Amino acid sequence: MSKKIVNSADAPAPIGPYNQAVRTGDLLFISGQIPLVAGTDELIQSGISDETHQVMKNLSAILKEAGADFSNVIKTTIFLSSMDYFAEVNTVYGQYFNGEYPARETVAVKGLPKNVNVEISMIAAL
């Protein structure tokens, strides 16, 4: 099995010992993205909608680096700091898929990196 590391300058650099994404065969595994702005230490904290849009922007940059887009996504996992955010995150998230939604689970967790409210990871078929 071969693997290729995928990193985009248009998405935030990893904040730990991992890569933005790893491709193996026709699958792309994208690490969880939080609402960090690429090339800065700026964390979007102006509301869950803005935070979710930033996360999706980061994911889009990584997909693009791999030659893909949201139509290639087959599975996502959404982590929330509270299920109170579910409806608003769902509304923003849904805008990126043009009606062809991937499989998904959404869970509330006790804490996320940098105390953010949302983190999303993805698997895409290339």
Q: Note the pLDDT tens digit of each residue in 42-84.
A: 999 999 999 999 999 999 999 999 999 999 999 999 999 999 9
Predicted local distance difference test score (pLDDT) of residue 1: 79
> Is it the case that residue 123 has pLDDT exceeding 90?
yes
Predicted local distance difference test score (pLDDT) of residue 70: 98
Domain count, the chain: 1
Residue with tokens 């985009």: 8
Q: How do 118-125 and 27-33 pair as beta strands? A: antiparallel
Tell me the pTM: 0.97
Q: Which domain holds residue 67?
A: 4-125
Predicted local distance difference test score (pLDDT) of residue 102: 98
Taking the CA atoms of residue 108, residue 112, residue 116 and residue 119 in that order, the dihedral angle to the nearest 10 degrees is: -70
Helix (H, G, I), strand (E, B) or coil at 110: coil
Q: What is the domain-level CATH number for residue 26?
A: 3.30.1330.40
Predicted local distance difference test score (pLDDT) of residue 41: 87
13-51 pLDDT, tens digit per residue, is: 999 999 999 999 999 999 999 999 999 989 999 999 999
Q: State mean pLDDT over 94-103.
A: 96
Yes or no: say if 29 and 74 are a contact pair by the CB < 8 Å rule: no
